[in-house]
Amino acid sequence: MNQKDLVLEVNDLRLDFNTYRGAVKALNSVSFKLYKQEILSLVGESGCGKSVTALTIINLLPENAQVIGGEILFKRENLLKKSTEDLRLMRAGEFATVFQDPMTFLNPVLTIGTQLEEAFMIETKPLKAAVIAQKSEGKNNISYSDFLAMKGKEDAILSKESQVSGRETKKMAKNLCVDVLRLVKLPDPERILRQYPFELSGGMRQRAMIAMALARRPSLFIADEITTALDVTIQAQILHLMRELRDTIDASTLMITHDLAVAAEIADRIAVMYAGNVVELADTREVFRKPLHPYTQLLMKAIPNVAAPVERLESMPGMVPDLINPPPGCRFHPRCPYAMDICPTKFPETTEPFKEHEVACYLY
Amino acid sequence: MDEILAVKDLKTWFPIKSGILQRTVGHVKAVDGVNFSVDQGETFGLVGESGSGKTTVARSILRLVEPTGGDVFFEGVNVAKAKKRDLLKLRHRMQIIFQDPYASLDPRQTVNSMLSEAMRVHGMAANRREARGKALQLLEVVGLSEEHLYRFPHEFSGGQRQRIAVARVLAVNPEFIVLDEPTSFLDVSVQAQILNLLKDLQKNLNLTYLFITHNLAVVHHMSDRVGVMYLGILVEVAAKNEIYDAPRHPYTFHLMAAIPVPDPEVQKKEVLLPGDVPSPVNVPSGCRFHPRCPYMTERCKREVPPLFERTKGHFTACHYAIDFKSGVREYEIDYGVAAVKG
């Protein structure tokens, strides 16, 4: 990872869910940085807080969630201090999220075309700018990549002259719909636009969701378990698409997955989470070559690997702790083979024993 | 080794009904002519993508769904044609563990009552005390303890529930167990515990497994032989290492290439399979894989390739021998000559 622009910085984020059984201490201390055009993967088992972290960033938490502390800096502005309306605008303009099960997020009674067009039409200013640019440059068609390049320049373009009819805007949106579907490799885009979600397969639906996310020209792309509901051959297609998009569009991706193998295939860097903490964070190759945290080490030995088969998997004793009464100190210590006297007393500080390889463990 | 299970031309079709009269207008050919056998003490892995029919194969073998045609021989007895009342006697010898331990355990029964019920139905325990004693032993075998005996399913975690499901199956002394995605609901750290438990039990109790999963890394870890399903048929059956290292069917090859490897250092050549699995209502003519196959010819559209044993123990349903490295069809398989030999 080179010194690129910092897009997102999460510092010591702490969050509780208030339930009738007591407070679920879902996030204990989550910190990471996300740079421009990189894919950072949050990896961990269920309940480790990876999805909650994503939902906190885009402010889609349920009502019983309460942020206890920390900050989320997006382009140097603290999102936690912003008003709901500001955040709504940011969700519309800067963030895009794709979730695990596309069927739950697509409207079953509207065509893909209607839904995709709506994503473009949320804000008409960029579309109007595109119409003017098309006229002034005498082009037949504005492609999605032209549209991407126009980001941030709308006001300059619009100030020249501003007579664009609603019909022209709509036509532009339709054009872009076709082009963005082509970008996500959906065959025969014109036909897909007329189809309903149930007519598409799981992989195609997920592509349509990605297209809708792209319509907003996001700077931050959050992919929450996007391949979990898909078959392996389709998963390979979607991962391939995500890698291509990283190079073509100008976004940073926060990829949430429970599958270390998927993270290994796609991420530039990996943050391993356990029970509400980021326990290790480093370059993908580094994490796999030299896992430092005992949890990461055990996790890697627990997954069967076709490329390096073993007779017996090494399994971790016990299970993920109940976060209403999490273990004191380091939350992993009851399952840790290297647990020391100090572990239950206080949560270990994150250190950087190797360059750009962070770990939260008393061993280092 | 002795054959414990032989599946011969198994077919399970589900009718599609339509209209006011609910006339059958077509069939979903979930399983459409499957042949394989499982030897005593081995683990036979059945892999395939969703909708390929692997779960239907398992359920048809146990007669949890009625097969439309074909035979299933379990130690010489034809399960597919057995009378209902004879089935009970067979059932304690062949058991199944389901994917979702939240759904497969009765929420209103304690562990003790679940295990005892299984024993009572199959006449495994003379009285309650004996059943309780056996239940205790079983809990120990699966890594739980006496304190868990009078608890209800909701008091357990997913991994523990799957252990209870294993205990309930073991309560009736089965010889053959179908494991239908037994770890896909579990976290990886717990998955490893359950897989290790299953391996230990197999060794200690001389069990035979039919292991069904979409997770190719898990099936590789567990199985001795593997069958690959595509759209209701088996396209390739061979020893595990042959399937993973030297696949012969183009679908198997692409499936193996799509497995994500938890090691960024492994340089994988990216080979993507285009398109999606077609609907099992309208299966493609000839070879079912031909619309997605990069090596397709006119012959593939017309002729159905049989599941053919090219070398000992390695069956493939493809008309061609393909070198996947260079991407060349080397030669056509001549079924006739070899069939005479065989």
Q: Please write the tens of the pLDDT for every residue from B104-129.
A: 899 999 999 999 999 998 888 888 89
What pLDDT, on a 0 to 100 scale, did the predictor assign at position B342?
35
Percent of chain B with pLDDT strictly greater than 90? 56
- Mutation site for A-interface testing, chosen from B161, B189, B203 by largest number of A Cβ within 10 Å: B189
pLDDT at A3 (0 to 100): 53
Are A304 and B272 inside 8 Å of each other by CB? no
For an interface test with A, the pick among B144, B156, B188 (most A C-beta atoms closer than 10 Å) comes out as B188
Cα A291 to Cα B300: distance, rounded to the nearest angstrom: 48
> Which residue do the tokens 């077919």 mark?
B11
| Chain A interface test: which of B187, B268, B273, B293 (most A C-beta within 10 Å) | B187
Looking at the predicted structure, is the pLDDT value of residue B208 above 60? Answer: yes
Tell me which DSSP letter residue A140 carries: S
Per-residue pLDDT at A161 exceeds 70: no
- Chain A CA closest to residue B274: A237
Question: What's the helix, strand, coil split of chain A in %, to 5?
Answer: 40, 20, 40
- Give the pTM: 0.85
**Pairing state of beta strands B314-316 and B308-311?**
antiparallel
Question: How close does chain A come to B255, measured CA to CA in Å?
Answer: 6
Q: Residues A78-92: pLDDT tens digits?
A: 999 988 888 888 888
Q: Residue A150's pLDDT band (boundaries 50, 70, 90)?
A: confident
Across the range A36-64, mean pLDDT stands at 90
Interface A-B, measured as beta-carbon pairs within 8 A, has a size of: 125
Cross-chain residue pair A237–B272, CB shorter than 8 Å: yes
Does the beta carbon of A288 lie under 8 angstroms from any beta carbon of chain B? yes
CA distance B221 to chain A (A): 6
Mean pLDDT of chain A, nearest integer: 89
pLDDT at residue B10 tops 90: yes
Three-state secondary-structure class, residue B34 = strand
Mean pLDDT of A329-335: 92
Interface contact flag, B266 A232, Cβ < 8 Å: no
3-class secondary-structure state, position A250? coil
pLDDT digits (tens, 9 = 90+) for A266-301: 999 999 999 999 999 999 999 999 999 999 999 998
Chain A residue with minimum CA distance to B219 = A304
State yes or no: pLDDT of B341 exceeds 70. no
Q: At A142, which amino acid appears?
A: I
Q: Are B8 and B73 in contact (CB under 8 A)?
A: yes
State yes or no: pLDDT of B186 exceeds 90.
Answer: no
Contacts of B265 in chain A (CB under 8 A): 285, 288-289
List the single residue in A with minimal CA-CA distance to B183.
A303
* A324 shares contact with chain B (CB less than 8 Å): no
Q: Does A103 touch chain B (CB under 8 A)?
A: no
Of B187, B199, B272, the CB nearest to A45: B187
d(CA A272, CA A43): 5
Pick the range with the lowest mean pLDDT from A13-27, A218-232, A310-324. A310-324
Mutation site, A39, A230, A231, A285, interface B, largest B CB count within 10 A = A231
CA distance B304 to B283: 12
- DSSP assignment, residue B54? H
Q: Tell whether A240 is within 8 A of chain B (Cβ).
A: yes
HSE-CB at B86 with a 13 A cutoff on CA atoms is 8
In A, which residues are within 8 Å of B50 by CB distance?
Answer: 231
Distance CA B3, CA B41 (A): 9
Q: Is A314 on the interface with B (CB under 8 A)?
A: yes
Separation in Å, CA of B48 to nearest CA in chain A: 9
Q: Please report the pLDDT score of residue B221 as a whole number.
A: 92
Least confident window among A112-121, B118-127, B276-285: B276-285
Q: What percent of chain A has pLDDT over 70?
A: 98
Lowest mean per-residue pLDDT among A38-52, A121-135, A174-188, B257-271: B257-271
Q: Is the pLDDT of residue B179 over 80?
A: yes
3-state secondary structure of A33: strand
- Rounded CA-CA distance B151/A229 in Å is 33
Residue with tokens 């273990």: A327
To the nearest whole Å, the CA of A264 is away from the closest chain B CA by: 5
Banded model confidence at residue A312, pLDDT cuts 50, 70, 90: confident
Q: Is A315 on the interface with B (CB under 8 A)?
A: yes
Using one digit for the tens of pLDDT, what is the confidence trace for A240-253? 899 888 888 878 99
DSSP three-state, residue A10: strand
> Helix, strand, or coil here: B141?
helix
What tokens were used for B312?
A: 């000992």
Residues of A in contact with B230 (CB under 8 A): none
Q: CA of A288 to nearest chain B CA: how many angstroms apart?
A: 6
Give the mean model confidence (pLDDT) for residues A120-132: 87
Q: Return the higher-pLDDT residue of B263 and B208.
A: B208
Q: Which residues of A touch B159 (CB under 8 A)?
A: 319
- Residues from chain B that touch A298, judged by Cβ atoms under 8 A, are 189
Q: Cβ contact (<8 Å) for A259 and B260?
A: yes
Instruction: In whole angstroms, give the CA distance from residue B115 to residue B169.
Output: 8
> Which pair of tokens denotes residue A358?
């962070």
Asked which of A68-72, A96-100, B30-34, B280-284 is least confident by mean pLDDT, the reply is B280-284
Residue B87 amino acid letter: L
- Please name which of B265, B239, B236 lies closest in space to residue B252, comparing C-alpha atoms: B236
